[in-house]
Amino acid sequence: MTSHTSEGTIPWPEDLAAEFRSKGYWEDRTLGAYVLETADRLPEKIAIVDGDVRLSYAELANRMDAAAERLLQLGLKADDRIMVQLPNGWQFTVLTLACFRAGIIPVMALPAHRQYELSFLTELSESRAIAVPDVIKDFDHQAMAEELAASIPSLEIILVSGAARPLNARLEEILAPAKDVADARARLDAAAPSPDSPALFLLSGGTTGLPKLITRTHNDYAYNIKATSVPTGVSEDTVYLGTLPASHNFPLACPGILGILFAGGRVIMLPSPEPRKAFAAIEREGVTLSTAVPAVAQRWIEYQQEAGTNQLASLEVLQVGGSRLPDEIARKVKPVLGATLQQVFGMAEGLINTTRLDDPEDVICTTQGRPVSEADEVRIVNEAGDDLPDGVPGSILTRGPYTPRGYYRAPEANARAFTPDGWYASGDIVERRPDGNLIVQGRDKDMINRGGEKISAEEIESLVYRIDDVTMAAAVAMPDQMLGERLCLYITVKPGCEVTLEQIQEMLRRTGVAAFKIPEHLVVVDELPTTKVGKINKKDLRADIAERLATAGAHSK
């Protein structure tokens, strides 16, 4: 028997919820209702393009409601959780929307996650179902799902896309169209979830171990989507290319896939941002908006400089977020790609900041923008919690109508990250300019940001200690021109023993750790530097690896 999500969710204070309603931030509608409204208004317009699949809004609504009923017929019910680990494509979108309609809560896993992460997330969420592809890049996701189901009591239903082996149901059958969904729509409308109930679980960056679950309600997430749509200029004429993993908040809802579907635009989905295929899609579909992390933006710039294509004429706006975009790369976006850059600094836990499309070049290229909502509250504080003046870097605190009040079933993490009066500390070090725009200076949490994918140093260190010959381990970020940061591991070993990078990488792969978390550089030292209180001095280690890389680069010239 799984527990109700209300048992692990910190509710919004009633007075604040009433205020958000009275001011129109919360409209008391479910996420699925917005898509249905678009389908009623623009039934014949193309909503989603995925390879040869082109779904109109009428077809999208049909599949959404048909799939919602089939999920319920499988035995799932409102408030049940389903682990969703699907690549970018129409199936991800239809399944997610079907869950919204039925009140089933999707847990947004990444395609890169493996058994180690998924077993933790499945147990934490008490998911009753999991949706996976069969095999991607020689990895058998179906076999992994079957292993999870064998070891986790709550996990009863496995849905697989392209499955060759028997299982509960093929995802294609669940997501197939129905001849008539009028009755299904009426039933789903009558049993619609409360707009204050959880719509989905996003994943935190996992700064203190494995990821945490972020509860986003229909009300707060709808406002997240609408508030980010305004500065991005989304309309029914927008053609959006989604190449980043759709389970991330940024490409899903800032404004992302859901924002385009709310507005009546067209969503083009690709499984990867590889420039050749992405540029071809931009030209073929007349893409006007896309999202990228800094590493992707740099790859696109380099590809365009080398190839000199004429494929980007339609691209009006490129949003870049996930990690800090270096100013020198930011200045190349407009002249090389022809699109207006929109910097995005936000978090799955809530607050989103963007530059505006009509901002001066200096703002667009050197800042990460300002809050999208007038109701977003932002403080920049020192270590004592005192507010700092503009121009002085400090820790950012935030709260507002789409920033939840705590993580799901995580009291210790909530005590660290949330104040009793609802301020969330993201761990980012930020400077606020007098004009209100923010500049991200770094992080105060122990995290590596590899091309937008967040890696917990603590998580990797705890796993490395499984190697008997390792006596001390410290994971730190090392600078990288393409990805921003990569994971470097410092270790000490027992006398007379040897531990190699290959050993560590192989152990982590066997453990089932996501590939992006595996260390890419190893430094074996006699001892690790420590602070005055005896903690490993990671500031010194980060400086050391930066110096080693600089020296190696100088010698190679």
Residue ranges of domains in the chain, CATH in brackets: 225-445 (3.40.50.12780), 447-556 (3.30.300.30)
pLDDT of residue 326: 83
DSSP 516: G
The tens-digit pLDDT sequence of the chain (557 residues) is 789 999 999 999 999 999 999 999 999 999 999 999 999 999 999 999 999 999 999 999 999 999 999 999 999 999 999 999 999 999 999 999 999 999 999 999 999 999 999 999 999 999 999 999 999 999 999 999 999 999 999 999 999 998 777 667 899 999 999 999 999 999 999 999 999 999 999 999 754 568 999 999 999 999 999 999 999 999 999 999 999 999 999 999 999 999 999 999 999 999 999 999 999 999 999 999 999 988 899 899 999 999 999 999 999 999 999 888 888 889 999 999 999 999 999 999 999 999 999 999 999 999 999 999 999 999 999 988 999 999 998 999 999 999 999 999 999 999 999 999 999 999 898 999 999 999 998 777 677 989 988 888 878 988 998 998 998 899 999 999 889 999 999 999 999 999 999 999 999 999 999 999 999 999 999 999 976 545 688 889 999 999 999 998 765 55
Amino acid (one-letter) located at 291: T
pLDDT of residue 213: 98
Residue 223 neighbours by CB distance under 10 Å: 22
SS3 492: strand
Token pair, residue 269, equals 């989905």
- Segment holding 428, helix H or strand E: strand 424-432
- Under a CB-based contact definition with an 8 Å cutoff, are residues 478 and 468 in contact? no
- Give the residues across from 157 on adjacent strands: 129
- Segment holding 328, helix H or strand E: helix 327-332
* pTM assigned to the model: 0.88
pLDDT of residue 324: 84
SS3 451: coil
| Residue listed under structure tokens 């410290």 | 474
**Torsion angle defined by CA atoms of residues 137, 142, 148 and 149, in that order, rounded to the nearest 10 degrees:** 170
Residues 132-152, buried b or exposed e (16+ Cβ, 10 A)? bbbebeeeebbebbbebbeeb
Cα–chain-centroid distance for residue 184? 31
Distance CA 334, CA 528 (A): 45
- Segment holding 301, helix H or strand E: helix 294-307
Distance CA 417, CA 415 (A): 6
pLDDT of residue 121: 98
Q: At what angle do helices 90-102 and 31-41 cross, to 10 degrees?
A: 110
Amino acid (one-letter) located at 326: P
- Under a CB-based contact definition with an 8 Å cutoff, are residues 516 and 453 in contact? yes
pLDDT of residue 531: 61
The runs of H, that is alpha helices, within 432-537 are 457-464, 501-511
CA dist 531 → 155, 218, 273, 548 (Å) = 45, 45, 42, 21
**Torsion angle defined by CA atoms of residues 12, 225, 321 and 328, in that order, rounded to the nearest 10 degrees:** -120
Residue 104 neighbours by CB distance under 10 Å: 24
pLDDT of residue 205: 72
- Segment holding 354, helix H or strand E: strand 350-354
Kindly report the backbone phi and psi dihedral angles of residue 191, in degrees, each rounded to the nearest multiple of 5, phi listed first.
Answer: -110, 25
Can you spell out the DSSP letters for 5-65?
GGGT-PPPPHHHHHHHHHTTS-----HHHHHHHHHHHSTTSEEEEETTEEEEHHHHHHHHH
- Furthest-apart CA atoms within the chain: distance in Å: 73
DSSP 369: -
Distance CA 133, CA 138 (A): 11
Of the candidates 302, 352, 301, 345, the one whose C-alpha atom is nearest the C-alpha of residue 320 is 345
Token pair, residue 529, equals 């530097």
Distance CA 405, CA 17 (A): 12
pLDDT of residue 462: 80
Token pair, residue 313, equals 């004429």
* 3-state percent helix, strand, coil for the chain, nearest multiple of 5: 35, 25, 40
SS3 557: coil
Q: At what angle do helices 57-73 and 90-102 cross, to 10 degrees?
A: 60
Q: Collect all residues with Cβ–Cβ distance below 8 Å to 2 and sequence separation of at least 6.
A: 80, 81, 126, 128, 154
- Under a CB-based contact definition with an 8 Å cutoff, are residues 57 and 45 in contact? yes
